[in-house]
Amino acid sequence: MGIEKKLYGRTNEGKEVFLFTLKNSGGAAVEITNFGGIIVSILVPDKKGRFDDVSLGYDSLEPYMEPGPYFGAIIGRYANRIENSEFEINGITYHLAANDGKNHLHGGLKGFDKVIWHPQIVQSSEGECLELTYKSADGEENYPGNLDVKVIYTLTEDNAIKIEYFAETDKDTVVNLTNHAYFNLSGHASGDILKHKLKICADFFTAVSPEGLPTGEIREVKGTVMDFTDFKEIGPGLASGDEQIIFGQGYDHNWVLNGEKNTLKKAAELFDPESERRMEVYTTKPGIQFYSGNFLNVTEHVKDGAVYCKRAGLCLETQYFPNSLKHKHFPSPILKAGEKYRHTTIYKFFTA
């Protein structure tokens, strides 16, 4: 329906940051800031028509500027892990920040989640949408190439958040953009997600090492705790003692999505029996990281004065596979100079 803009706060350097509220005629609303492109809240109805905020986040701008769990943020240049914080393109080795043990995580020390994006409200056939652009300079966080990035957020009339990702580079580089929203369909402050039921449209996942890095093995989910081909409650797998669960300290794995590459397909569906809210995820990307909020423990600056315990929310991050520079049989996250990176992910909310 429309987008409202207001001042959200200022960065330490005194730069203004804004909060945009996207609304549709059914009353759904999504707040997004141009700091990190962060989704601050998602207000959607439950079965009885009651609205609740189903995404985890802070109560103000300041805590988003500190290191944290990446609530709702755009992640780049490379979402998830790169082994030993280095990769090679065209015979040149690039060394990145080791910010997760000896590995690189979520774009480094100051990834796309910690930068100010240029915001613009634009018109599309679906009404007003929020366009965020960012110019990442050659050498930023040691990644090669000047990268022009654009992310468009749209809230549709049927309660879907559409996220379109675009990027272009002047030098061969790597690009793997995602959004790190944490969902709890009972409401962000309602406790844990153990009773949520999840379905992932994938017959295979990428098995991880004890450090949580894909080893290169693409393993069948059938008969294992990683099998979400049909709706399954999340809690039992977490309590199972399965080796992959121990390595990830919970679910923190990439699933290899079934279906055509680069076409928009259903990737996952989440159902909360309590509120009877459902969320479908669609994407053009080849993989999805299901992260069960294993490291969450946030006691301050949470929205509505809430506290987030371990597993208070879960992420479904659409992506190229983690560590995909190392494993050449994984879809390549390399973007060549002159090529266009273009992906779409949709999170659609409904009750049924």
What's the rounded Cα separation, in Å, for the pair 34 and 16?
A: 10
Among 283, 289, 318, 319, binds ligand GLA (CB under 6 A): 289
DSSP string, 92-140: EEEE----BTTBEETTSTT-GGGSBPEEEEEEETTEEEEEEEEEEPTTG
Among 20, 64, 70, 341, binds ligand GLA (CB under 6 A): 70
Give backbone dihedrals phi and psi of 83, rounded to 5 degrees, phi first: -60, 135
- Around Cβ 104, how many Cβ atoms within 10 Å? 27
Peptide bond into 278 cis (omega under 30): no
Query: Residue 152 or 245: which CB sits closer to ligand GLA?
Result: 245
The reply on whether position 80 binds ligand GLA by CB under 6 A is yes
Min separation Cβ 244 and ligand GLA, Å: 13
- Burial of residue 211 (CB within 10 Å: 0-12, 13-18, 19+) is middle
Residue 69: half-sphere exposure toward Cβ, Cα within 13 Å: 28
Indicate the SS3 state at residue 275: coil
Q: Which of 31, 83, 140, 317 is catalytic?
A: 317
The reply on whether position 131 binds ligand GLA by CB under 6 A is no
Min separation Cβ 254 and ligand GLA, Å: 8
- Around Cβ 12, how many Cβ atoms within 10 Å? 7
Residues 243-262 that bind ligand GLA (CB under 6 A): 252
The reply on whether position 83 binds ligand GLA by CB under 6 A is no
Interface mask toward ligand GLA for 305-324; x: CB under 6 A: ----------x-x-------
> Which residue in 192, 188, 156 sits closest to 42, CA to CA?
188
The reply on whether position 295 binds ligand GLA by CB under 6 A is yes
Q: Which of 31, 106, 164, 180 is catalytic?
A: 180
> Which residue in 138, 140, 143 sits closest to 95, CA to CA?
143
Applying CB under 6 A, the span of 133-141, 161-169, 259-267, 289-297 interacting with ligand GLA comes to 289-297
The reply on whether position 178 binds ligand GLA by CB under 6 A is no
Query: Residue 186 or 254: which CB sits closer to ligand GLA?
Result: 254
Question: Could you tell me whether strands 182-183 and 39-45 are parallel, antiparallel, or unpaired per DSSP bridges?
Answer: unpaired
Min separation Cβ 312 and ligand GLA, Å: 12
Applying CB under 6 A, the span of 30-38, 90-98, 182-190, 288-296 interacting with ligand GLA comes to 288-296
Query: Residue 257 or 315: which CB sits closer to ligand GLA?
Result: 315
- Interface residue list for ligand GLA (CB under 6 A): 69-70, 80, 105, 212, 252, 289, 291, 295, 315, 317
